[in-house]
Chains A and B, each alone.
Chain A
Amino acid sequence: MRRSSSTWPTRSLAVLAKDIKSELRTRYAVGAIVMFAAVTVVAVGFSLGGIALDTNLQAIMLWLSIYFASAAGLGQGFIKEEEAKTSLSLRIYAPSGAVYNGKLLFNLIILTGLGLLIVPLFALLIGLNVVSYSLFLTILTAGLIGLACTTTLIAAIVARAAVKGTLFTVLAFPIILPLLILAVKGTQKAMSAGARFSDGLGELQGLSSYSVVMLIAGMLLFDYVWND
């Protein structure tokens, strides 16, 4: 009993360490996300051609950039295992819960990096008129956590399908839409004049309950996707 409870986190961390190590070798996810973040922000800024966006549009463009950049990198986590034919050995050596946790933590790290990159880039090239920084950062963090919880399970589903091509974007969009809507609304509130932290409490409640539900669903359902 004691033993299994102590090995659970270590095994999850072992899966995470393995992913980080292989990521450091190939730099696939990082490369894809950095490129996508840079390309989307530059494309948006370029096509605007110096027109100042109002804050509502800034929030929308920011979250759309985050969504597409994450779709470019996060969908690969499990596909990589299938293509390198390592998924079978991972299935043997690690319990499915540890695999899910490890992949989720890895996605969280990648998304944190994405947030640290895309927000300053966006602020520099397009402009972000944030009024309440505390609300903005909390909404951003909650949104990124929710994004990680949802995309991990969807990436696992996509990796098991025969046709992988564009499936991730198709499957992820309708599931992530409530999160995107809430995150955009919350960010708009953080940017409106005289904004205070308490203005976005409704959106924060929505975002955190969405993340918790998706996290629990992911933990319960991952086993059915991973093992057939």
Chain B
Amino acid sequence: MHMIWKLLVFVLFIWVIVGAWLFEPPMMGVEGPEVYRIFYFHVPVALVTFFAYGLAMYNGLMYLNNRRLEYDSRSALAAALGTIFCALATLSGSVFAKFAWGSFWNWDPRETSIVVLLLVYLAYFALRSAVIDAERKAALSAVYSILGFISAVFTIFIWPRLTPGLHPGAPGDSSGRFISMSTTATIVFIPSLLAFIILFVWMYLLSVRINRLEQDRAERET
């Protein structure tokens, strides 16, 4: 059963890599359409980031509900993985910004919101390291992950829609063609999204298992 998922993610990534470089670029009729190929990697990674943070908050809520420390470590693992994906989304977005808008950083609303997300979770880990007692750490970081998620919803979904920006899809962007994706773009984008989600879930389940084994060993040693 595990083998099927691993094969699937392998096949999907090969398809995505081939498709992203060999098919026609996702956005036509824009200046320098080749630059937009990064879309196949940047957007799925950014979506997985948000999904990971949602998972961290869900595990935090589960901890507050039934006070089992296992949920707290899951919440921390999901947030840690989400931070990696968030850094990747920031980097890939920055590379795109350099070649599409002329500078690695423009303080566009989208760019700012991904940095806010990164700050929320760096603060989350700062809080975790500031509390010693395991149960108190779990409760406080669960509450903070909920607050962070609310802040993320405001900076990602509400604010960029109020302000004009450079990012495709923002109000005021003349080349906003994300809604009218071509069919060749869809047959690469959807597999790419699936591949990144499966990859994330795989990484998450592995880290949960490693964490559980480490705790078992620690218990046996004491």
Contacts and interface: CB of A to CB of B under 8 A. Distances in A.
B146 A217 contact: yes
A217 B151 CA distance: 12
Interface in B135-161: 135-136, 139-140, 142-144, 146-148, 150-151, 154-155, 158-159
B159 A182 contact: yes
Contact of A206 (B64, B123, B133, B162): B162
A29 interface: no
B116 interface: yes
Contacts of B119: 173-174, 177
B163 interface: yes
Given A153-B147, A167-B126, A228-B135, A206 B140 contact: no
A163 interface: yes
**Interface centre among B112, B142, B144, by most A CB within 10 Å?**
B144
Interface string A201-228: 0110010011001100100010011001
B132 interface: yes
A181 interface: yes
A214 B147 CA distance: 8
Interface residues of A, number: 33
Contacts of B64: 224
B57 to A, nearest CB: 11
A160 B154 contact: no
Contact of A161 (B127, B148, B151): B127
B142 to A, nearest CB: 7
B127 A157 contact: yes
B147 A177 contact: no
B16 interface: no
B30 interface: no
A91 B146 CA distance: 24
A203 B161 CA distance: 11
Nearest to A167: B130
B130 A161 contact: yes
A106 to B, nearest CB: 20
Interface residues of B, number: 31
Contacts of B144: 157, 171
A163 B151 CA distance: 24
B159 to A, nearest CB: 6
A217 B60 CA distance: 14
B130 A174 contact: no
A228 B150 contact: no
B46 interface: no
B123 A170 contact: yes
Contacts, number: 89
Contacts of B159: 178, 181-182, 206
Interface string A10-40: 0000000000000000000000000000000
A34 to B, nearest CB: 28
B120 interface: yes
A43 interface: no
Contact of B123 (A173, A178, A214, A225): A173
A174 B151 contact: yes
B136 A171 contact: no
Interface string B149-185: 0110011001100110000000000000000000000
A52 interface: no
A217 B142 CA distance: 12
A185 B155 CA distance: 14
A145 interface: no
A203 B150 contact: no
Nearest to B137: A161
B187 interface: no
Contacts of B147: 150, 153-154, 175, 214, 217, 221
A121 B196 CA distance: 53
B131 interface: yes
A154 B150 CA distance: 14
13 contacts: A157-B143, A164-B130, A174-B116, A174-B119, A177-B151, A178-B155, A178-B158, A181-B112, A181-B159, A182-B159, A203-B162, A224-B143, A225-B140
Which 7 A-B pairs rank lowest in CB-CB distance, beginning with the nearest?
A: A178-B154, A174-B119, A163-B130, A174-B120, A161-B130, A175-B151, A221-B143
